[in-house]
Amino acid sequence: MGGGNGAKAAQKRERNQLQNAKKGPASQLKSNEASKKLVCEWCHLNMMVTCNRQQLEAHAQKDGKPFEACFPNWQPKSKK
Ligand SMILES: [Zn+2]
């Protein structure tokens, strides 16, 4: 009883060390999505890329312009 526990624990430790070494530096985050900018064509205000159509329409209303005049290039995110 207990004779093999020490060896097992040592093996476990070795394995953990190997796994940690394999991981290496954290993988780079993809920033492509975040780099897309959303700018109102009418007043050139930077909008959050995450804005939904409702929020953008509310902004267009503030400008007194139709949605298409402010964000002609806007596309719904569901496109994949
Ligand atoms: Zn605007």
**How many whole angstroms separate alpha carbon 70 and alpha carbon 39?**
8
**Cα–ligand 1 centroid distance for 38 (angstroms):** 11
Q: Residues whose CB is under 5 A from ligand 1 (ion)?
A: 40, 42-43, 45, 63, 70
- DSSP 8-state symbol, 52: -
* Per-residue model confidence as pLDDT tens digits over 15-46: 878 776 766 555 444 444 444 679 999 999 99
Query: Which token pair is 50?
Result: 């995450």
**What pTM, to 2 d.p., does this model score?**
0.52
**Cα–ligand 1 centroid distance for 37 (angstroms):** 14
